[in-house]
Chains A and B, each alone.
Chain A
Amino acid sequence: MSLRTPLSKVIGRGSAGEGVGHWWMQRVTAVALLPLTAWFVISLLGQPLQSYDAMRGWLGQPWVAVLTILLVFTLAWHSKLGIQVIIEDYVHGKAAKTTLLLSSTFVHVGAAVSGIFAILSLALS
């Protein structure tokens, strides 16, 4: 005898209730990060990193700013998903696990907002 309702079998989302959403977004962000990180590293290392004016001028250009915002956003998302899996795998106490997951979410959202704000302030001033 199955304890699962017919509806739950049809929806097929398992006990966590969210299906493959996490797994899928990890792949979506991974695919997006391949061109974004490759573009950023190659472009960045062509710039004179010590020169404030040169770096500011480079990062403030519209397309560079847009792509770097996409990079920061996607990195934060991918990193959040990955760190979540590591915490869920190795931290077993309910309180510690919840605290760490919550902190990780806050840090990632804070980092994403900070990075995007920094780029916007360079591009729009």
Chain B
Amino acid sequence: MNQRPLSPHLGVYKFMYTMSLSILHRITGGAAAVGFLLFVWWLMALASGPAAYASAMSVLATPLAKLLLVGFTFSFVYHFCNGIRHLVWDTGRGLERAQARRSGAVVVVAALLLTAATIWFACRAFGPLALGLAP
């Protein structure tokens, strides 16, 4: 088992910022998977009736939950934007070094802007509770 060939350890590569975008794609994917479970929990609360929904929404209004929701939002949005970049690469386009760096910058800016926009609209949809930090 130990004699099998291994691909080079990550440490042998010179650091480039496109590497961190690739690693971030995996991290945000893992975080989005947890966010998906939270989404299902919210759907179940909605199906369980008004009392369950109200208590779920009050849990989501706590400062810790809001912080997590911001993280999940960024994770979904980044994974969405960078996922489009990966799908374009799958067609064989945009793989040159300069193109990959440029599309990486576009993805980071788009992800930050879309995250901010989503949070702003979410605060409006959440109602007055969302504006203060305390529930």
Contact = CB atoms under 8 A, between A and B. Distances in A.
Interface of A: 27, 30-31, 33-34, 37-38, 41, 44-50, 52, 55-56, 59, 72, 75-76, 79, 82-83, 86, 107, 111, 114-115, 117-119, 121-122
Given A55-B53, A114-B43, A119-B43, A50 B118 contact: no
Contact of A111 (B32, B40, B57): B40
Contacts of A118: 40, 43-44, 46-47
A38 B110 CA distance: 14
Interface string B79-120: 010011011001000000000000000000000000000100
Contact of A75 (B36, B53, B57): B36
A44 B40 contact: no
5 contacts: A34-B83, A41-B118, A48-B125, A55-B53, A82-B33
Given A45-B125, A72-B39, A75-B36, 9 more contacts: A33-B80, A34-B80, A46-B125, A49-B127, A56-B46, A86-B26, A86-B29, A111-B37, A117-B47
For the residues of B in contact with A, the DSSP-based class is helix
For the residues of A in contact with B, the DSSP-based class is helix
Interface residues of B, number: 32
A48 B80 CA distance: 25
A30 B125 CA distance: 27
B125 A44 contact: yes
Contact of B127 (A38, A41, A46, A48): A48
B63 interface: no
A47 B42 CA distance: 15
B67 interface: no
B15 interface: no
Interface string B5-39: 00000000000000000000010011011001101
